[in-house]
Amino acid sequence: MLQGKEIILGVTGGIAAYKAVELLRLLTKAGAGVHVIMTASATEFVTPLTFQTLSMNPVSTSLFNMISEREIGHISLADRADLFIIAPATANVIGKLANGIADDMLTTTVMATKAPVLVAPAMNVNMYQNPIYRENEAKLKRHGYRFVEPAKGMLACGWEGEGKLQEPQVIFEEAVAALTRQDLAGEHVLITAGPTREELDPVRFISNHSSGKMGYAIARAARRRGATVTLVTGPTCLAEPCGVETIQVVSAEEMRQAVMAAFPASTMIIKAAAVSDYRPVARAMAKIKKTAGTLTLELEKNPDILSELGQIKGEKVLIGFAAETDDLMGNAAKKLAAKNVDMIVANDIGAEGAGFNVDTNIVKLLFRDGSVEDVPLMGKQELADLLLDRAVKLKS
C-alpha cells in the first residue's frame, strides 16, 4: 500500500512518544521507507535505537552530526520525502513551526520540505485550548499543514480532556489518505457489510458466515480516496474503520431502515452485506424448549434492500454482490437485471480463497452492457480499490 513511499517521522518530547514506535511499525509494514528525526527531548522518552532498529535507517537527533549530515543530509531527506509526519507534536514544536523557527534538525527539515506535513498534537488540555496554541494551529492549517485532531481522555498529567495523541492506527489512516489520490472527494459512498441476524428467540438466530471483511475494506478504501463514507454493518468482530460513519444494525429490517435513511445523501452505494433472505414469522418471547419430535420453523421473506434501491436509484451508482455456490454467471446475470444495478460483483463462494471470512476474494464483474470482467484472486483491500475504480468509471 505504501510501497516506494519515503516518509519522515518526526518525534518530539512527550510521554506519547512511545506510540510513535507503533506508528513506525504500521508504516514499515505497509511498505514505506521511514526516516525518523527526534528532538533532544524526545530521546528522553524513547531511545533512538528503538526507532533505528525498527526503521532500519539511521535516526537523526542533531543538526550538527557531521556523519549523518554527510550520509543523509537534512535537505536531501526533506527533498526525498513523500510525506512528513510529526507524532507526537508538542505545543512547543507547533509554535516553532508556526513562527518560522528552525533551530534543530526536526524544525529545519520541516521548513525545508515540500512534502505534505501531517501533525498529530499531544499535550495538556489547557495548553491545547490556549488561544496562542489555537492561533499557531490555525496558521499552520492555513499554510496547508494537516492535523490529526487529538483524542479526549485521561492525559498523562492527570487532567481529563482533549490533548491525547490519536491512536497510531488513526494517524496511519490519515497518512495513507495523504498519500492517496483523492478521486472520490465530493462523493458520499454508502456501503453495507457483514451478516444480518434474524432472532428465533432470546438466545438463537439465523445468520451466515459473513465476517464483514469485504465491506469494511471498501469503506476504508473509499475514505482513503477522499469520500464521505457511511457503513451500515451487521454484527462483526472488526474494528470500526477510522473516519467512517459506522451504523451498527442486527436484522435485515434494521439494515433496510439505516440504508434508506442514508440513501438520499449518498452518490454511490455498494451492497456487500450478506442479508438474510428470510426471518421467522414470529420471534418467541421465551427460549424455545426442546420437545420429543421435530421442530418446524415458519419463515417469511425479508425486504430485498438492493431491489428497493434499484427502483429509486436515479443517477446514483448502485453496485450489488451475488454470493453463489452454483451457476455463478447465470444467477449473477439474473440479479443484475432483476435488481436494476449498474454492476454485480459475482462471488463464487465455493472457490478456495474466495467469499466468506477470508482475506482474499475471486470475483467476476457483470455490467449492464453485457460485458464481464474476470478478477483473479487478490486481497480484499486491493479488490476494494478495484471496485471503487469501476464505480468511478460508471459515474463518468
Of the candidates 157, 265, 288, 337, the residue annotated as catalytic is 157
> Across the chain, where does the E strand assignment appear?
6-11, 33-38, 83-89, 117-121, 146-147, 151-154, 160-164, 188-193, 198-199, 205-206, 228-233, 245-248, 268-271, 278-280, 299-301, 317-324, 343-348, 360-367, 372-379
Cα distance between residue 301 and residue 327, in whole Å = 23
Give the rounded distance of the alpha carbon of 274 from its chain centre. 21
What is 191-213 written as a DSSP string? EEESB--EESSSS-EE-----SH
Contact string 241-280 vs ligand PMT (x = CB under 6 A): -----------x------------------xxxxx-x---
Question: How far apart, in Å, do the first and last CA atoms of the chain sit?
Answer: 26
Q: Applying CB under 6 A, which of residues 82, 162, 199, 304 lies at the interface with ligand PMT?
A: 304
**Residue 157 annotated among the catalytic residues of the structure:** yes
What φ, ψ does residue 363 adopt, rounded to 5°?
-140, 165
Cα distance between residue 348 and residue 364, in whole Å = 9
- Least distance from ligand PMT to the Cβ atom of residue 278, Å: 9
Q: Please, which residue, 14 or 234, has the CB nearer to ligand PMT?
A: 234
Instruction: Name the residue with cell 525518523.
Output: 36
Q: Using an 8 Å Cβ cutoff, are 17 and 11 in contact?
A: yes
223 binds ligand PMT (CB under 6 A): no
- Least distance from ligand PMT to the Cβ atom of residue 325, Å: 10
DSSP letter assigned to residue 60: B
Q: Please, which residue, 61 or 192, has the CB nearer to ligand PMT?
A: 192
Size of the site for ligand PMT (CB under 6 A): 28
* C-alpha distances out from residue 342 to 281, 314, 387, 393, Å: 33, 11, 12, 11
Q: Please, which residue, 88 or 320, has the CB nearer to ligand PMT?
A: 320
Cell (9 digits) for 156: 498523562
Cell (9 digits) for 344: 454485480
305 binds ligand PMT (CB under 6 A): yes
Amino acid, res. 207: S
Q: Using an 8 Å Cβ cutoff, are 109 and 8 in contact?
A: yes
CA within 13 Å, CB half, 51: 29
Contact string 171-210 vs ligand PMT (x = CB under 6 A): ---------------------x-x---------------x
Only segment of 55-63, 115-123, 153-161, 211-219 that touches ligand PMT (CB under 6 A): 211-219
Q: Which of residues 314-373 bind ligand PMT (CB under 6 A)?
A: 320-323, 335, 347, 349, 355-357
Q: Please, which residue, 21 or 258, has the CB nearer to ligand PMT?
A: 258
Q: Applying CB under 6 A, which of residues 68, 92, 136, 302 lies at the interface with ligand PMT?
A: 302
- Least distance from ligand PMT to the Cβ atom of residue 268, Å: 14
Q: Applying CB under 6 A, which of residues 33, 150, 212, 241 lies at the interface with ligand PMT?
A: 212
Amino acid, res. 58: P
Q: Using an 8 Å Cβ cutoff, are 358 and 210 in contact?
A: no
- Least distance from ligand PMT to the Cβ atom of residue 172, Å: 22
6 binds ligand PMT (CB under 6 A): no
Q: Please, which residue, 96 or 339, has the CB nearer to ligand PMT?
A: 339
Q: Please, which residue, 167 or 254, has the CB nearer to ligand PMT?
A: 254
- Least distance from ligand PMT to the Cβ atom of residue 31, Å: 23
- Least distance from ligand PMT to the Cβ atom of residue 359, Å: 8
Active site residues: 157
Q: Tell me which residues touch ligand PMT (CB under 6 A).
A: 192, 194, 210-214, 252, 271-275, 277, 302, 304-306, 320-323, 335, 347, 349, 355-357
